[in-house]
Amino acid sequence: MNHGTMAHLDGFQYGWVNPVVAYAIACVGAAIGLRCTARAVTLPARKRAGWLALAAGAFGCGIWSMHFIAMLGFMVDASTLVYDIPLTLLSLLVAIVVVGLGIGYVGYRGSGTGTLLTSGVLTGCGVAVMHYLGMAAMQVEGAVSYDTLLVVASVAIAIAAATAALWMTLHIKGLAAALGAALIAGVAVVAMHYTAMAAVTVTLDGRAAGTGVPASQFALPVAVGIVVVLAVAGLAVAFSPQDDELGAGPAVEPIRVDLFGQERR
């Protein structure tokens, strides 16, 4: 191998399998997270924290899982590709915390234009920070560099789509709006990811790849953990419906679970 050789990068090692699955997971996480956010804003401020924390966990885990699944299809020719586990897990924590700040801001401050813009910036930046921190955990036999213009574009995409999804969540009611907001948020994460990956250049220089491990070796425990988080959040939404979403006509009384002090007398 020649030193200073630019490596060929392939982000679609398994074809469209990774992007499609990644998008589906991103949409599921976004749908649950945004519904939890919508649920929170119907409650008194003192009772919103639980729902907003659940929203941050679901949304953060969903976008991180999208990144992880997409990276399973990424390869660098003529180089080993491993990941620093602590840094990878830190990117998950950052996703939950920063996205949580954005969701929490709109959850407590309301749906004004300034609030939505601030929340959209925080949430979009959370997606971006998660991605680039996860990329920093990637170890290859060379130097990784980025195209500045594409990096800026990736962050702008994340912010714009996150703002649009939050606006839909707070202003348009019903199942169709929830699905539309989730699809937009899913597009935001996927578009941001692949735009950011287009900015990557790897120059092989013969250095050791590092002491990390291949993604395939920790994929199973990560998958189990993410499924548990999304399942718990999804069940919380399913078994704690809002009164105005139960339908207009006489119906059988639904099962109610008083989550996070939602029941209002």
DSSP letter string, 171-210: HS-SHHHHHHHHHHHHHHHHHHHHHHHHTEEEEE-S----
Tokens representing 16? Answer: 């469209």
Tokens representing 157? Answer: 């995409």
Q: What is the pLDDT of residue 144?
A: 92
Per-residue pLDDT of 163-189, as tens digits, reads 888 887 777 777 777 788 888 888 888
State the pLDDT confidence band at 251, using cuts at 50, 70 and 90. very low
DSSP classification of residue 143: E
Taken in order 74, 186, 166, 244, is the CA torsion positive or negative? negative
Taken in order 24, 29, 33, 35, is the CA torsion positive or negative? positive
Confidence check: pLDDT of 259 > 60: no
Q: What is the pLDDT of residue 136?
A: 92
Helix, coil or strand: residue 111: coil
- pTM, full prediction: 0.82
Rounded (10°) angle between helices 148-171 and 17-40? 40
